[in-house]
Amino acid sequence: MEQEFHSGRRLALLRELKSLSQKEIVVTQGFPKTSVRNLQRWERQGIPRNHIQAIAQFFEVGPWVLLDPNVEETQLRTLALHPELQDWIQQQMVRAIFQDTVDRAASSIKLESV
Q: Identify the structural domains of the chain with CATH numbers, from first to last.
A: 7-113 (1.10.260)
Q: Map residue 42 onto helix, strand or coil.
A: helix
| Closest alpha carbon to 85 in 71, 102, 103, 106 | 71
Mapped to the 3 state alphabet, what secondary structure does 80-108 carry?
A: HHCHHHHHHHHHHHHHHHHHHHHHHHHHH
Q: Under a CB-based contact definition with an 8 Å cutoff, are residues 71 and 65 in contact? A: yes
| Closest alpha carbon to 13 in 92, 78, 76 | 76
Judge whether residue 65 has pLDDT over 50: yes
Give me the mean pLDDT over the 24-52 stretch: 96
Give me the mean pLDDT over the 24-41 stretch: 96
Share of the chain above pLDDT 90, in %: 52
Distance CA(24)–CA(20), nearest Å, equals 6
Distance CA(38)–CA(23), nearest Å, equals 11
Judge whether residue 14 has pLDDT over 90: yes
